[in-house]
Structure 1
Amino acid sequence: MVTIENKRGLKYFLFGSLYFSEGLMIAITTVATSLYLREQAISIPLTTLIIGIVNIPWMLKFVWGPVIDYFIRFGRKTFIILGGMLSVSCMFLVSFVDPSVSLLPFTALLFLSHVGIGFIDVSTDAWAIDVSTEKDRGKINGSMFAGQYGAWAIGAALFPFIGSQYEYQTVYLLNALMILLILLFPFIVTETSKYNLKQKIASLVLTEFKKKTVLLVAVFSPLVFMNEGIMSFLMPIYMRDGLGLGDVQIGFIAMILPVFLAVGSLVGGAVTDKIGRKSTLYVFIGLNIVCTASLIVADSWWKLSVIYGTIGFLMGGHSTASCALFMDVTNPRIGATQYGIFTGIANVGLNGGGMVTGSLVVALGFARTFLYAAWVFGPALLVLYFIQIKKQKEMDKTQTSI
């Protein structure tokens, strides 16, 4: 067995690899499934709606979190394995379903596969909170997001190519196999549980969310991720229907975003540990507003590639800083629940923004939708201004006294 308590490299590898499985699911949903459904003549609004529905489990982290915290004596790793097996099983089954004939079963299986990944995500986050400190949370989040976005990049390039050459059913089988292989590493890692008793989750959560800072962070979380949701859902459709690109070309251009997201995550993680959460967020979000708005001039593949890559870098930076902020204000005793609430609400913004993207495009057109995606950062910056961040020692003292 392998221990990670005092080994930073193994920490980064473990959490990065688990988030890699999440990135594969993002690529499957936002790129492969989007193209697959459009290939089957499913309308743009219905396509984005289905993608939004199968992503709903990401918004239900407040459900998975209490389950994991309540059974904390079994550790975080147990739920990673169980969630992973659920996801692998559903990915395998969905490869045999034709969405043009059986759209509901297709959607249901994808939904359940995301439930499994949701358990992996919440358990991984809680485990990371257990073994991290304020000094390395930015870097740990950077490694996690780098893994997620790296997988997204690989999937964005690989899945459309495989789908166009060997049919998209093969893509779902391949994804199941890759997630199964990722699950092998947690098996050999020793988890040291700090809490061995059942906890009164509800009372602890209520106490935490009576704090002004915690409430403001909860409001901030969906606002800061809404832009990412719109971009993730919108760009594959824009490349196909706006620029008239083919699936393989779309895949390679779509790969640009997660590649730069991964780089931005690593840079953002290091920067936020150095200069603080709010300063990092102001810089990365401010620049992203400008770049997102500039998509209105992206009328060719090369212009889109340049702007898209820059957006990815900035998005990775502020996503990492945001999640480090979530961890900073999370009580480790209810790490899965409280952090799950923050990220679950964040996914409401991300997924909610994505779900309405198709309707926005139909109503406003692509250019105005890009401008709207830039505008949504405004409320996020306003809320961020009022968030007061305590020092680690002060927070630890407060959480210990609860």
Structure 2
Amino acid sequence: MQGIPAGFALTAVANYLTAENTSPKIVGTFVAVVGLPWAVQFVWGPVIDLFQSSPMGRRKPWVLLSQLMAFVASLGVLLVENPASQVSTLAAAFFIHSVFASLQDASVDAMAISIIPETDRGRVNAFMRGGMLFGSGVGAAGMAYLIRHSGFFYAALAQSLILLGMTAITCFIKEKSGDALLPWSSRARTEPTATDVPRVNLRGLFAELFRGLLSSQSLRMFGAIIVVYTFLSVFIRAFSVHLIQQLKWADTSLSVLSGTYGTLGALIIILTGGILADKIGSRKLLVIMMFIIGSFLVTFNLLAQFWSDPTVTTTGLIIWYTFDPGFSVAAMPVLMALCRKGIEGSQFTTYMALVNLSDVAGAFVSGHALSWFSAPVIGLFCGGVVVVVAMLVVGQTFLNVRRSPPEQA
């Protein structure tokens, strides 16, 4: 439900605008505006953590409310008749929808971190990311096809109908077996106890949140993670514009590739990656993914002279589409492990908000950077930065191991 609007706005519509000769700056700004609510979704975390007592469970009321409001907000997109000439109106409509979609995302993340055992987080995060990617694929490929063959109105209508259907299904899903389906229904289990719902006042919540975010371990690990996400976003936005405006790819071809082969490859990676993260450890997998991503970006951009060959670019795109989910499968359990008990929802939501901000910032920076540099130069720089960050993480880990006192027999 989160993925379909994301694929629709950030891939199908963004590529459509690029094909209609909208400037990279405007497209980058459009993507940034649509993604902005996701970047500040940390405001929802404390609210979700403070109000979490309901017959339906701790988190489900927030999930259901946000889904319903996201559907209502999606109806605003139907008011746009010509996306290319109404970019501001289009951005405003998607922005309003993103406000409630970000609340839904925060609610689902809070639910996951509250009920999923640490040993299962790699696999569960893989399935969550897989659902998001599947939705993004439908939004990218399906909506791109509808825009070109039926018109923008019918693409927007299809989005709203899908969101309504998914909201109806959510009504019949329980957070826990003893919870009620509806707020006015009774439930089998007793009211939450102090162990179920930690008592946290607003001042104490923020104090604990800042301690968690600003701990040295959090700053090191999350700092490295955020850099990788940012430069992944910078490269793919620059590369997409290059393909459409310089190499004359059809916007539907790029969107459909993203939604089909790209999504299929990504699903395979995250399902296997989730198991791998649980087996070898998410931190080891995180470093491995950093080196793979950095090495690919450097190599692929050094081969930019071959981008005119569709086989080369298609292969490169499919490989790239596996990086975000593969990296996320490793990064999400690492971030969950950094969260402090009692404020898990707030801390993890803040992490996710900053990850989303990195995507927004990457799109914005990429649009402006293309005015000065070519896509291969931008991509080469991105790859170099990721490799350096991976080396720093390995170096820091090595130092921590050497400083650790030996175990007593």
Q: Which of 254, 268, 278 does residue 250 from structure 1 map onto?
A: 254
Partner of 2:60: 77
CA distance in 2, matches of 1:29, 1:244: 21
Instruction: Determine if the alignment matches structure 1 residue 323 to structure 2 residue 332.
Output: yes
Q: Spell out, residue by residue over 1:22-61, the C-alpha distance to the aligned partner (whole angstroms, 9 max, x if none).
A: 2212211221221333355432211111111110111112
Q: Spell out, residue by residue over 1:268-300, the C-alpha distance to the aligned partner (whole angstroms, 9 max, x if none).
A: 211111101221112222112222231423322
Deviation of 1:125 (Å): 0.7
Deviation of 1:99 (Å): 3.9
Can you give the 5+ residue segments of structure 1 that lack an aligned partner in the other structure? 1-20, 391-402
* 8 A contact 1:284–1:315 mirrored in 2: no
Helix, strand or coil for the counterpart of 1:245? Answer: coil
* 8 A contact 1:261–1:317 mirrored in 2: yes
* 8 A contact 1:90–1:112 mirrored in 2: yes
More helix by share: 1
* 8 A contact 2:137–2:263 mirrored in 1: yes
State the superposition RMSD in angstroms: 2.3
CA distance in 1, matches of 2:120, 2:134: 21
Deviation of 1:190 (Å): 2.4
* 8 A contact 2:12–2:141 mirrored in 1: no
* 8 A contact 1:138–1:269 mirrored in 2: yes
Partner of 1:131: 115
Deviation of 1:184 (Å): 2.7
Deviation of 1:379 (Å): 5.0
Q: Spell out, residue by residue over 1:115-135, the C-alpha distance to the aligned partner (whole angstroms, 9 max, x if none).
A: 111011111111011111221
Q: Name the TM-score, length of structure 2 as normaliser.
A: 0.83
Can you give the 5+ residue segments of structure 2 that lack an aligned partner in the other structure? 177-191, 401-409
Helix, strand or coil for the counterpart of 1:149? Answer: helix
Give the AA of the match of 2:382. A
Deviation of 1:150 (Å): 1.5
Partner of 2:275: 270
Alignment of 1:80-229 (within 5 A): 80-97=63-80, 98-192=82-176, 194-195=196-197, 197=199, 199=201, 200-229=204-233
Give the AA of the match of 1:66. P
Q: Name the TM-score, length of structure 1 as normaliser.
A: 0.85
Give the AA of the match of 1:241. Q
Helix, strand or coil for the counterpart of 2:263? Answer: helix
CA distance in 1, matches of 2:264, 2:137: 5
CA distance in 2, matches of 1:54, 1:65: 20
CA distance in 2, matches of 1:116, 1:135: 31
Q: Spell out, residue by residue over 1:356-394, the C-alpha distance to the aligned partner (whole angstroms, 9 max, x if none).
A: 112222211121122123133135425533369x9xxxx
CA distance in 2, matches of 1:171, 1:302: 30
The structure that has the greater radius of gyration is: 2
TM-aligned CA distance change 1:252 to 1:63, over 3 Å: same
The farther-off stretch of 283-292 and 266-275 is 283-292
Q: Spell out, residue by residue over 1:143-202, the C-alpha distance to the aligned partner (whole angstroms, 9 max, x if none).
A: 011111122222222111111001122222211221222223332222356217554421
* 8 A contact 2:12–2:252 mirrored in 1: no
Partner of 2:14: 34
CA distance in 2, matches of 1:373, 1:185: 41
CA distance in 2, matches of 1:253, 1:374: 23
* 8 A contact 1:268–1:317 mirrored in 2: yes
Give the AA of the match of 1:77. K
Identity %: 19
* 8 A contact 1:61–1:337 mirrored in 2: no
Helix, strand or coil for the counterpart of 1:376? Answer: helix
TM-aligned CA distance change 1:195 to 1:248, over 3 Å: same
Tell me which of the two structures has the higher relative contact order, counting C-alpha pairs closer than 8 angstroms and 6 or more residues apart.
2
* 8 A contact 1:288–1:314 mirrored in 2: yes
Partner of 2:243: 239
Instruction: Determine if the alignment matches structure 1 residue 61 to structure 2 residue 46.
Output: no
CA distance in 1, matches of 2:277, 2:356: 22
Partner of 2:383: 374
Count of residue correspondences = 369
Instruction: Determine if the alignment matches structure 1 residue 52 to structure 2 residue 21.
Output: no
Partner of 1:5: none
* 8 A contact 2:262–2:321 mirrored in 1: yes
Q: Which of 360, 364, 370 does residue 373 from structure 2 map onto?
A: 364
CA distance in 1, matches of 2:314, 2:277: 27
Partner of 2:406: none
